[in-house]
Structure 1
Amino acid sequence: MESHGGRRVCRWMLAVMLALGGCAKLGPDYQRPAVAVEPAWSLAADPRLAAQADPPKWWWRVFKDPALDRLVAAAYRQNLPLQVAGVRVLEARAQLGVAIGGFYPQSQQALGSLQYNQLSQRAVQSAFSHIFNYTQAQLGLGASWELDFWGRFRRAIEAADNDLLANLATYDNALVSLTADVANDYVLLRTAQSRLDIARRNVDTQRESLRIAEIRFEGGTTSQRDVEQARTVLASTEALIPALEIIERQAANALGVLLGMPPGDMSRWLAGSSGIPVAPPVVAVGIPNDLLRRRPDVRLAEFQAASASAQIGVAKADLYPAFSLTGQFGVLAADVGKVSLSDMFDWRARFGSVGPTLRWNIFNYGQITNRVRAQDARFQAALLQYQNTVLTAQREVEDQLIAFLKSADRARLLAESTEAAGRSLDLAVLQYRQGITDFTTVLTAQQAVLSAQDTLANTLGDIARALVGVYRALGGGWQIREYNDLVPPTVRQAMAERTDWGRLLAPANVLPDAAPGSARLPDW
């Protein structure tokens, strides 16, 4: 009777625990914090900006430069830091699987043993038994399941969910930076090449001026001062060439590393185009609210805040008792007396136990409470970081827009200045040949032409780099990874050969408009 009563109590407790387990979920449910976002860009009225049009996903194509398109595509396939970010996403997928597994019976074991036992003949049991050695065999199953009574494991899954989304946002952010860095280095290289062409053309012109000065000096129509002045200006212009060659070579080396290659000859990658990339007459920039979904670093900050929010619930669960179900079943036999090891498969050799257990850290409340407080502080810091990231994103867009528009205005004025300087040089040379003016006027005009042309070329590069900065600030470029593998086939194959990854190496189909905690997919 007592045995049947104990079973009824045990069954009642099990029913209550299973019914209540999973009802509660401690900690706050994440809500996106309010952020200050302007309805439109401050320069939206400028006719060169299309504020209502979405920025292009593959924004580098607006330059219509095949070499740039080829470089970006190669960098996406080959860049090593991007591959590191992709592997981190795969790691986060596996960690999410670990968190999901924690929701189910945490301990599931098959047990087995075969032991020969030699007991002391001088121990206490020797007074009650004359059996001092025997062999015992055992087979069984054991399991322990801590019920998610307070939502500890569900909050842990939420945190892992958001960690996965945060790692994917980190990958996207690396892709945004990669495409912008490739474009920036390419523009820098083309700008250096354009400036080199200008310097070399001016060297040719100044050499001709030096030849004329030497002829006139030998003919006695001018002084040696004109010759020395011409040599001075020529040497100064020639000195620009090595400095610009340094910039060109370093930009090419930077492109090589971005493409996952050692520095070397980049001519085959640069073939098919030349000159500084030209920005389109109208640039689509969208509206500030788009930043919340377009910029990966904004999404990253939000997912980190959502993960920190879920961790509060994980920490709070330690304040309350943990209820578990434990059970064990098996067979056991020993070669003692009339019993033999073969009897372990007899039904009477069975043993088992099942029932609830309770664990409660009742004397550690100070430590647990402060862990909750610490996690709450991390969550609050993450919320503030998210708000600051949104503000910084808006500032970066505004900075790049003003740089783009004003660089274009400056280039227009510099083009007029360059044309005027060219005309002034032509007049100075003509007047010098006619003896109306001295050679110093010619040299001054030559220097003015070189300065104007070089400044204009540099400013044209500034326009292109500013537009690259606009699209970087708008969060463009990550879309190139949609429905593609996170790591190249060679890396994926190497990982699959080492470890059974199941379907976790599949493309990341989670898009940026996913809500925090929405990355959990059954096949992951």
Structure 2
Amino acid sequence: MSKLASIFSMAALLSACAVGPDYQPPEPVPLQQFAHDQTPAQDSGAPIANNEERFWQGFEDPLLASLIEQTMAESQSLQAALARYQAAEALLRGSRRDQLPSVTAGGGVTGQRLAEVERTRPDQERVELYQASVALSWELDLFGRLRRATEASEAELQAAGADRQTLQVALAGQLASSYFQLRGLQQQLRVAEQNVSLQQASLDIVGARLDAGRGTLFDQVRARAQLDATRAMIPQLKAEIGATMHRIGVLTGQPPTALVALLQLPAHLPDSRPAIAAGSPGDVLRRRPDIQAAERRLAAASARIGVASADLFPRFTLGGLLGSLSGNGSDLFTAGARTGRVTLGIDWTFLDRALVQARIDAADAQSAELLADYRQTVLLALEETETWLLRYQQSHARAALLQSATDAATQAVEQARDRYDQGFIGYFELLAAEQELTAMRDNLVQSQTAMVLAMVNVYRALAGAPATG
């Protein structure tokens, strides 16, 4: 055993190199600032620290915060992602264990009836053999095959963790978007009901003028048609409201109708809209977990090139056995029954160089594929961030203009109604003014909703980074 321990110690000293390329992260993106970010930022070059603040807290809506926290805890998609992470963690433990000697124990008894020609004495009809042993086996990682495999497993585990973070950001964004869509639809419903009241009042005026002999049946029919058209919007809005409530219920890991009672009370879109500072593109890319996942998978592919390259060299395995062997069970474990051996095994796979080179080429190609995937993921992240920053800016400007237009249209309807009642204009002019106001009100709510949704998407593109201000 002392000789065996000496051999193991020498092997450990020899295991100091690893074939294959040492991984180098891709070059950073040269951009200094997003074109549509209003706040100049310098790239610190340092990793982004975890921030306990979450983007949804900036909206100051306790119900939204509660729903997102419930989604984080109950989402079945996140449970699946956690299981994938745990599987990667188990594979890493296995890879690390492969670098250590393995120990097995065994024992048994063998009985054989001998033919006459096999007997060494006339009365020897049967022979029995008893054995028990402890065996050690250790692959000498002289060329780093096992270490590269462990590097790949570590990178895959980190990628699985980043995938889970990516899903968390996506689910939070989906929940927030659905929640604000619901609030926007509820406001659209309120506006539609206000428009119904407005047009019902106009219909009453037309009816009163008709009864007084100052109106026409044509005006009354047109007023009723306009009223019914506005009423027809209400069932559609109610259906969309119900469907959005169902979506929120499922996102939180519950049956579709579980949150209807909680969500059916209308609420306004958030008034709190903190300023957004995207930071530098480098900051965003370091913060986004989908970029981290792509980079870690690239690192794993680089390590697997080393695993394949190690097969260009012979693979050595040290083995040792200590046991007891006896033809009689009572003699087992006695001094005379002791047995042992030390072996050095060699795997000659490296002689089939064409096969080994094919595996290396495949690993190289996979690494090139994942490098291209990484670069494409970076470009898509930059595009997404630039696009949503632009959309948020423009939606803010549009909402402001529509608010001004709605205020003017409200005054126009009030004046048109007075002038119609006094007989200065016909019903056509009043109807046109009311139609403009109806459309303006609906467009205003939709634009306000779009502005909040754009903000949510900016936060999601920034990987949930909190806003400033």
Q: Same fold (TM over 0.5)?
A: yes
Residue 248 of structure 1 aligns to a residue whose secondary structure is helix
User: Alpha-carbon deviation of 1:362?
Assistant: 4.5
Residue 294 of structure 2 aligns to a residue whose secondary structure is helix
Matches within 5 A, 1:256-405: 256-267=249-260, 269-270=262-263, 274-278=267-271, 280=273, 282-334=275-327, 340-405=328-393
Deviations 1:294-314 (CA, angstroms, capped at 9, x unpaired): 100000000000011111111
- Aligned CA distance change for structure 1 residues 174 and 284 (closer, same or farther; 3 Å): same
Deviations 1:182-223 (CA, angstroms, capped at 9, x unpaired): 010011101100000000011011112112212222332111
- What letter corresponds to residue 60 of structure 1 in structure 2? W
- Aligned CA distance change for structure 1 residues 367 and 58 (closer, same or farther; 3 Å): same
1:148 matched residue in structure 2? 141
User: Alpha-carbon deviation of 1:34?
Assistant: 1.1
2:389·2:458 contact (CA, 8 Å) conserved in 1?
A: yes
2:13 matched residue in structure 1? 19
Question: Does 2:243 match 1:213?
Answer: no
Deviations 1:499-524 (CA, angstroms, capped at 9, x unpaired): xxxxxxxxxxxxxxxxxxxxxxxxxx
1:120 matched residue in structure 2? 115
User: Alpha-carbon deviation of 1:386?
Assistant: 1.4
User: Alpha-carbon deviation of 1:265?
Assistant: 4.9
TM-score, normalised relative to structure 1 = 0.83
2:418 matched residue in structure 1? 430
- What letter corresponds to residue 412 of structure 1 in structure 2? A
Residue 394 of structure 2 aligns to a residue whose secondary structure is helix
Q: How many residues align?
A: 459
1:414 matched residue in structure 2? 402
2:165 matched residue in structure 1? 172
Structure 1 CA distance for aligned equivalents of residues 336 and 137 of structure 2: 25
Structure 2 CA distance for aligned equivalents of residues 152 and 76 of structure 1: 39
2:104 matched residue in structure 1? 109
Question: Does 2:41 match 1:32?
Answer: no
- Aligned CA distance change for structure 1 residues 85 and 220 (closer, same or farther; 3 Å): same
- Aligned CA distance change for structure 1 residues 234 and 383 (closer, same or farther; 3 Å): same
1:62 matched residue in structure 2? 58
The answer for unaligned runs of 5 or more in structure 2 is none
- Aligned CA distance change for structure 1 residues 16 and 51 (closer, same or farther; 3 Å): closer
TM-score, normalised relative to structure 2 = 0.92
Residue 345 of structure 1 aligns to a residue whose secondary structure is coil
Question: Does 2:180 match 1:187?
Answer: yes
- Match among 52, 66, 73 for residue 69 of structure 2: 73
User: Alpha-carbon deviation of 1:349?
Assistant: 0.7
User: Alpha-carbon deviation of 1:257?
Assistant: 0.4
- Match among 62, 87, 91 for residue 95 of structure 1: 91
Structure 2 CA distance for aligned equivalents of residues 11 and 142 of structure 1: 13
Percent sequence identity is 33
Question: Does 2:439 match 1:451?
Answer: yes
- Aligned CA distance change for structure 1 residues 18 and 81 (closer, same or farther; 3 Å): closer
1:138·1:330 contact (CA, 8 Å) conserved in 2?
A: yes
User: Alpha-carbon deviation of 1:426?
Assistant: 0.5
Residue 440 of structure 1 aligns to a residue whose secondary structure is helix
Superposed CA RMSD in Å reads: 2.4
Structure 1 CA distance for aligned equivalents of residues 274 and 300 of structure 2: 43
- What letter corresponds to residue 216 of structure 2 in structure 1? S
Deviations 1:23-66 (CA, angstroms, capped at 9, x unpaired): 2201111111114341111123x3xx475799984111111112
1:14·1:355 contact (CA, 8 Å) conserved in 2?
A: no
Residue 358 of structure 1 aligns to a residue whose secondary structure is strand
2:104·2:135 contact (CA, 8 Å) conserved in 1?
A: yes
User: Alpha-carbon deviation of 1:14?
Assistant: 6.6
